[in-house]
Structure 1
C-alpha cells in the first residue's frame, strides 16, 4: 500500500512577512519613506460622547447648560461617584438624584438636559433615557401585542433617567402605582434620576402619594427654580 501523500503548503505568516519585505523594498526604490508617511498621516478624528448624544437631545435643548450652581454641584457629585469602565472612561454606577421644581416656564427641562450635557462633557460614559410622565403613562397602557413590562424595565434599569413633568398628568390609582414602582426601583438601587415638576414641594405628597414623596425626599437633591416664564418672554 502506498503511504498517503503529505500535503505541503507555505506558512501564512512567512508568506505575509515576505510580501511586506517586498512592498518595503519597492517603496524604498521609489524613494518613499514609509515611516515618515505614517508619522505624517492625519490622526483619526475622535467623536466625543456629547457629540454622539446630540442627536437624541430635542433640538430646543441641544445647547442647554447647567446654569444653577446647585445643579453643577450635583453633576460633580455624580461624576465623582462614577466607576472606571472600558478604556478608562468613567461610567455611572450609583449616585444621587436631582429634583428640579418650579412654576411653568422657568427652565426646568432646559436645566435637566443641561445637567445631562454637563455629565457627557465631563467624559462620563453615559447610558440615559428621557421621558415625560404623560408619555410614560401613555406608553404603559396595555396594547395588543406590545410588551409594556419590557419597556418599563428598560426605563427602570437605565443608568440615568430623566422623568419630566412629574405630577402634571392626570393622576389615578394606576398612575400612582406605576410612578411608585419606577421611583422605588431606582430608589432601592441608588440609580441617579432627574425629576422635574411644576408642583410646589409642599404638594408632592398630596398629588404623588406618601410613598413616592417620601422616597423623593430622601433620594434627591432639591433645586427650586424661579423667575419669569421664558416661553412668554421669547414670544414677545
Structure 2
C-alpha cells in the first residue's frame, strides 16, 4: 500500500493506526521507521552494530515493513541502491509493505516518485501496491 498526499493530510497517522490494528489482531512482527531518512542513517557505515548489510538483511526480512516519507531524503546513488534492494526483496518475497510519500507515484509535471527513484522501483511498487491518495489541508496547521 502506498499513501500519497501533501504534508499533513494524515498519511502517517493512518498507517500507524493500521499497524496498531494489525498488532492487536495477533502476534506479528513489524518494523517502523520514522522516515526513510532515518533508515538511511541506520544503514550508513557505523550507523548500526549490525553493519549495512546486516541491517539491510534484517529490514528485508521483516514480515510487515512501513517506509514513511518515501522520497523525502536527498536522492543519491547510494540511497537509490538501498531503496531498490529493500523494495525488491519485499517484492520478490511478496512481503507486505506500507509506504507513505508526499510525492505521487506519477504526476504530469514530473515531480513524482519516478523522478526521484526511477522506473525500476516505481514499476515494482506499481505491480502489487494499492495507491491511496490522501487529500485535504495540513491538519497540523489547521489545529494550530
TM-score under structure 1 length normalisation: 0.56
What is the SS of the residue equivalent to 1:180?
Answer: helix
Distance 2:48 2:63 in 1: 27
2:42 aligned residue (139, 144, 148): 139
Specify whether residues 144 and 228 from structure 1 end up closer, same or farther in structure 2 by C-alpha distance, changes over 3 A only.
closer
RMSD between aligned residues: 1.4
CA deviation map 1:75-115 (0-9, x unaligned): xxxxxxxxxxxxxxxxxxxxxxx100000000100010111
Could you tell me which residue of structure 1 aligns to residue 26 of structure 2? 124
What is the SS of the residue equivalent to 2:87?
Answer: helix
Distance 2:3 2:127 in 1: 14
Runs of 4+ displaced beyond 3 Å:
none
Could you tell me which residue of structure 2 aligns to residue 109 of structure 1? 12
2:131 aligned residue (222, 233, 236): 222
Could you tell me which residue of structure 1 aligns to residue 102 of structure 2? 198
Does residue 1:169 correspond to 2:78, yes or no?
Answer: no
Larger relative CO (CA 8 A, sep 6+): 1 or 2? 2
Could you tell me which residue of structure 1 aligns to residue 109 of structure 2? none
2:57 aligned residue (153, 157, 161): 153
Bigger drift between 152-161 and 112-121 goes to 112-121
Query: Structure 1 residue 125: deviation in Å?
Result: 2.3
2:2 and 2:130 in contact (8 A); partners too: yes
CA deviation map 1:134-163 (0-9, x unaligned): 011111111288422211111110111100
Consecutive unaligned residues in structure 2, runs of 5 or more: 107-111
Query: Structure 1 residue 120: deviation in Å?
Result: 2.6
Query: Structure 1 residue 201: deviation in Å?
Result: 2.3
Distance 1:192 1:124 in 2: 16
Distance 1:111 1:231 in 2: 14
Could you tell me which residue of structure 2 aligns to residue 56 of structure 1? none
Consecutive unaligned residues in structure 1, runs of 5 or more: 1-97
Distance 1:162 1:145 in 2: 19
